[in-house]
Amino acid sequence: MADRPMKYEELVQQLGAPSLEGLQPVARQQQDLIVSAVGRGGDEPPQLDLEPIRIDDEVIGWQITTGDVEVGIRARAVEKPAMHRDRIVEIPGRVPEGQRPLARPIAGEPQPVRTLRRRSGRRVRPEYIFGADDRQTYFPLGYPWQCVGILWVRPLPTTAPGWLVRGTAALIGSRTIITAAHMIQWLIWDLLDEAPRIRFTPAVFNGTSVVGLTSLVSHVVWNADHEQGDDVTAMRLVQPLGDKLGSFGVMTYDDDWEDEPYWTRCGYAASFGSVPERQTWFAIQDDDSDGDGWELEYEADTSGGDSGGPVFGWWDGVPCIIGVHSGGEEEAFDTNNVAAGGPFLTNMVQWAWDHWE
């Protein structure tokens, strides 16, 4: 690959204007969720009830309660791979057959940015907005934008009250995704010895996958003792969604790229509902060693729900992830948003490729 990412003008010159020619979203009537439920005995069919999914006290959807029905599967933990700090890894991206990469996605419907507040009315600022909020919504059809999706984690047993954690994840293989390690409630998993149920749905727009796909997660790389610089975990999907949608490449960040506007970050912030948003062509201002990884610091705008989203650049017309968004960082005289990256990220991805792809 080239020794640096592409700049915007170079990318557009190579790929041309974005076009959705030959791509069609799945019709809504084809996206109805079909659940196969097996009762625990007797001739009576299981009874299905619905319970609300809430974010900031607002009902954003409904899920099936699981009183007498087992819906989904529990993820299994696999041991965190050994760290090789000097190992430079390049994982190639895969463009789906019959498509070409889109330098930028089709613009989505503008969404109002909702201010999150505590019950007392005080404003919540879990991460940072720098000046005006520069995030833009988009329609997630076409490569690589369709490779990013919403990750739902249910950390408690099915007998406990409903609690769903929501973030962002991205495909980096046929059946492998990466996200932030803090999406998993490791302490609950460890204390209860009961794994969470996890689902990844790519290309969600207004609550529906425009590609009509979703998958449960079967395996999670255990990373309970992470810091912000290694706030990354890989997950194995039951369904090989990347065969149809393609996948990002992954690169080890090089500080020679510092202060250059090469990067894009996208995710599913809760304040935008269930519409994806992105910020493009920003710079990474600094990188610091932290834990087993590197903190990649930037002033791209983020908020709750963006955790786990990819930070990526373009090499030879193919998008490659160099970091996974972790959250905000406040230092003595500075505030930044931070992605986890460096050799820890690429070593974990290489391990997942060696075992799952």
**Residue 302 is part of a domain; what is its CATH number?**
2.40.10.120
Q: What is the SS3 assignment for 241-283?
A: CHHHHCECEEECCCHHHCCCCCEEEEECCHHHCCCCEEEEEEC
Cross-strand pairs, 201: 150
For residue 57, tell me if it sits in a domain.
no
User: 281 falls in which pLDDT band (50, 70, 90)?
Assistant: very high
For residue 153, tell me if it sits in a domain.
yes
> What pLDDT digit, counting tens, does each position of 146-192 carry?
999 999 998 876 555 556 789 999 999 999 999 999 999 898 888 88
Phi, psi of 218 (to 5 degrees): -100, -30
Full residue range of the structural domain in which residue 256 is found: 8-12+89-95+127-356
User: 57 falls in which pLDDT band (50, 70, 90)?
Assistant: low
For residue 158, tell me if it sits in a domain.
yes
Which pair of structure tokens corresponds to residue 118? 């505590």
DSSP E strands in 115-206: the ranges are: 136-139, 148-154, 165-171, 176-179, 197-202, 204-205
Query: What average pLDDT does this structure show over 98-115?
Result: 72
For residue 22, tell me if it sits in a domain.
no
Number of structural domains, the chain?
Answer: 1
- Reference 111, options 91, 137, 134; nearest CA is 137
For residue 121, tell me if it sits in a domain.
no
Whole-prediction pTM: 0.81
> What pLDDT digit, counting tens, does each position of 218-264 carry?
999 999 989 999 999 999 999 999 999 999 999 999 999 999 999 99
Give the C-alpha separation, 309 to 151, whole Å.
Answer: 10
List the alpha helices (DSSP H) in 100-225.
186-192
Looking at residue 355, its pLDDT comes to: 92
Looking at residue 78, its pLDDT comes to: 83
Over the chain, what is the mean pLDDT? 80
